[in-house]
Structure 1
């Protein structure tokens, strides 16, 4: 959601600080900002044990008619049981389908 938020929202998040949740949590603002650019470019975000040890996640935004995220869809699971490369395309495709449906309803 943050990757598709306004610059003001990102500034607020960065100003509040980036608390470390696990050894892999991104706590450096510059690194997070670059990661958000990659997420916008690819349309999928990954959590590789950044928010919880042993937990992986692939997420994609549900966009309104433009580029504003109004929701997201994700798949998460234990790192010992889930492979991100197996779920990424399904998550991305589902988010695109939902975005199209939202656009038609508006």
Structure 2
């Protein structure tokens, strides 16, 4: 394994090492999340699409700090239109009535 010798401003190697350690930590956390997915604990079911019938989709769940949306997968052509979609992200379609109800509880 080769050591990377960063170009340090003002010759302060200690700050450069801290900066590289921090960047490496962020990268490793991102890679772990990308491979495994984001684990959410204690999902609270809020509601599903009023017209979905017997299926469970689309639906909305509340979790600590945000929401989880269960929706219909997008085809490749639609996914290609999403902006700055990271490797660990995806888009789903959700009917307006599922998200519009958030205004009632907001």
The TM-score range, normalised by the shorter chain, is under 0.3
Q: TM-score, normalised by structure 1?
A: 0.23
Structure having the higher Rg: 2
More helix by share: 1
TM-score (norm 2): 0.23
Higher relative contact order (CA 8 A, sep 6+): 1
